[in-house]
Structure 1
């Protein structure tokens, strides 16, 4: 029977780069078919497989490599079979990546063995905290810039949902922004944050109660699943997140995915991802920040599309004065779908405007 994983052996030939929880290496792959690549980049999650060294034999999953994927186009290191890492007997019994060969045992912030258990059970709400919900992981950095532009003293947490990459270690953005974030909470099947949570509800409570966040940003990890159909994309979780924030007595803010640079018509103006998530999945009201200063044609299209959304939501016009400069000062590179700040300015302004609006809600 054929396997759904492309199993290959390889040898580490060079250590390329490392960031928190990840190590990027070059590997020589032992080909099994004439179409196999024999040289490639590979990625190891060091908390799972250990630290690769030059000369190590590695067991690889080459699915993403064979399919030519963009964000995830690595050979993934499954194990260092000749040099297994020591066991980690830390407390915790919450399993993530459940019932897969690489399921991991984590300590959830809300379980009985957690040192934060008391804080997590004291309240069952987030006390009006503004929560910005975004479709793509690329929204995190510009949204944070928008918050800090007006409230540089604000404590901002990031809650990661499981629509994209599951390991937070995959994100170089999180590594680069670590000094500017109060912390990262990985929820559901995601893992590798400063705190692990069972679901988005306990993740939001952890952001408020444990990280003491004034504002929280919610999005999926890097990598976005989309099929080009009305419902077939991972960003429907934005609507679910709005509902969760409302259920916890927070203040939901829906960041709009806006672009006039995307070649795909369904993402021009306000992306159909935002229109579906906020227009059809979200059952609770949210603030939808509309950035001022968009290019005239883009602005007109966006306003026309927003007119078609349910009256449930509140459209809030937000000044973008000074936000481009704040985004340029970020310690990470801005990129969405391969486009930088100047190539897709409307997208980044919409994200930053959502951050500014959240900052202005703080008393």
Structure 2
């Protein structure tokens, strides 16, 4: 279950808030190793460390990296004295955070007075690679929009692991980030997705929220055994709180696995059996044969009877990503290799901007009426 090996830090490759990458000599080889500074302190060249080599030894994909488990240079160190909520509970790495809804939080009153999301559009997707194209299109079409990213604990737990989130914040595409459950490191911490959605609306005053897990989703080629199942519950949560859920379909014809051909069986399962409330589901406009294939998949799964299915042009995703200088991949495939995947996210974002505009108009009328 656990593979630990001693290592020696040879060179620091990258330093970013909360995370470092270094060349570490382990078992006679120099290998790239991730270090989370809030968990194991700041690395220096020459440090003697203990490295968790489990995933790399198994030749895993996204998770196939070495991680610093212990830095022997530290006998003790502290990160923060605030907060009472523990994440990574009952593990050697349990950390204390100031959750945005807890009693000591300066945002506490936002939760006590909350009544509804008031139609806040919430765009959600199974894979972390959906975040960049969705956010880029939203910002490209609505430059003034306040976009808040919510990262669940379905995959990577430290938000610092995501180069995508770092880039989106650096380019001022997203206004802020919230980490839920045992995920940590966001601008705000939340106990669950419900309070994260409330924080997006009340604390960040979001015009739109995007919810995905971090990098490194899990699938087992079984009906229920994949981490994206959480999306059905998030659709329900958005509806319960009075928001408008928009679901990004996972679509690909580049994935060699039959179960992911066209619309992935993951998306169909979530929409058919897990989501108990309706969501907007956007199809990217494409050639007739492809469109027929994916619409038949939706018909066969009964999606048209349960959800609102819309068609929108998703090609703007490539234009938006280029305009912001964002390079993206999904499952190792670039946009040119799996265009429809990114266009599916783009189409969903295009429709979401329409919801944003309608909501803005309604709220403006309501505000005017109250003032009058």
TM-score range, shorter chain: over 0.9
CA-to-aligned-CA distance 1:3-53 (integer Å, 9 cap, x gap): x21111100001112333211101111x3xxxxx63211100112211111
TM-score, normalised to structure 2, is 0.92
Partners of 2:59 and 2:326 in 1: CA distance: 25
Residue aligning to 2:79: 88
Matches within 5 A, 1:145-160: 145-160=136-151
Matches within 5 A, 1:173-322: 173-178=164-169, 179-292=172-285, 294-308=286-300, 309-310=302-303, 311-320=305-314, 322=316
Say whether 1:169 aligns with 2:166: no
Deviation at 1:124, TM superposition (A): 3.8
Deviation at 1:86, TM superposition (A): 2.7
What's the C-alpha RMSD, in Å, of the aligned pairs? 1.3
Partners of 2:11 and 2:289 in 1: CA distance: 49
Partners of 1:279 and 1:173 in 2: CA distance: 30
Deviation at 1:75, TM superposition (A): 1.1
Say whether 1:101 aligns with 2:99: no
Contact 1:149-1:356 at 8 Å conserved across structures: no
Partners of 2:206 and 2:278 in 1: CA distance: 22
Structure 1 counterpart SS, 2:93: coil
Structure 2 counterpart SS, 1:128: coil
Partners of 2:287 and 2:61 in 1: CA distance: 29
Q: Which has a greater percent of helix? A: 2
Residue aligning to 1:24: 21
Residue aligning to 1:34: none
Say whether 1:144 aligns with 2:135: yes
Say whether 1:60 aligns with 2:51: yes
Structure 2 counterpart SS, 1:78: strand
Residue aligning to 2:321: 327
Contact 2:18-2:36 at 8 Å conserved across structures: yes
CA-to-aligned-CA distance 1:219-240 (integer Å, 9 cap, x gap): 1100010001111000001101
Structure 1 residues 331 and 110: CA distance shift in structure 2, 3 A: farther
Structure 2 counterpart SS, 1:307: helix
CA-to-aligned-CA distance 1:192-235 (integer Å, 9 cap, x gap): 10000000000000011111111000011000100011110000
Deviation at 1:321, TM superposition (A): 5.1
Deviation at 1:84, TM superposition (A): 4.7
Partners of 1:63 and 1:22 in 2: CA distance: 19
Structure 1 residues 295 and 40: CA distance shift in structure 2, 3 A: farther
Q: Which has the higher contact order (CA 8 A, sep 6+)?
A: 1
CA-to-aligned-CA distance 1:297-320 (integer Å, 9 cap, x gap): 322211111113341200011123
Say whether 1:351 aligns with 2:345: yes
Say whether 1:7 aligns with 2:4: yes
CA-to-aligned-CA distance 1:312-348 (integer Å, 9 cap, x gap): 2000111235332112223432100000111000000
- Greater Cα offset, 184-193 or 84-93: 84-93
Partners of 2:274 and 2:78 in 1: CA distance: 42
CA-to-aligned-CA distance 1:160-202 (integer Å, 9 cap, x gap): 1111101101101000001211111000110010000000000
Structure 2 counterpart SS, 1:238: helix
Structure 1: which 5+ runs fail to align?
32-36
Partners of 1:204 and 1:184 in 2: CA distance: 11
Structure 2: which 5+ runs fail to align?
359-372
Partners of 1:200 and 1:273 in 2: CA distance: 20
Partners of 1:60 and 1:324 in 2: CA distance: 39
Deviation at 1:69, TM superposition (A): 1.2
Say whether 1:46 aligns with 2:37: yes
Contact 2:139-2:173 at 8 Å conserved across structures: no
Structure 1 counterpart SS, 2:150: strand
Contact 1:163-1:235 at 8 Å conserved across structures: yes
Structure 2 counterpart SS, 1:275: helix
Structure 2 counterpart SS, 1:228: coil
Contact 1:17-1:25 at 8 Å conserved across structures: yes
Paired positions, count: 353
TM-score, normalised to structure 1, is 0.94
Contact 1:150-1:360 at 8 Å conserved across structures: no
Contact 2:317-2:342 at 8 Å conserved across structures: no
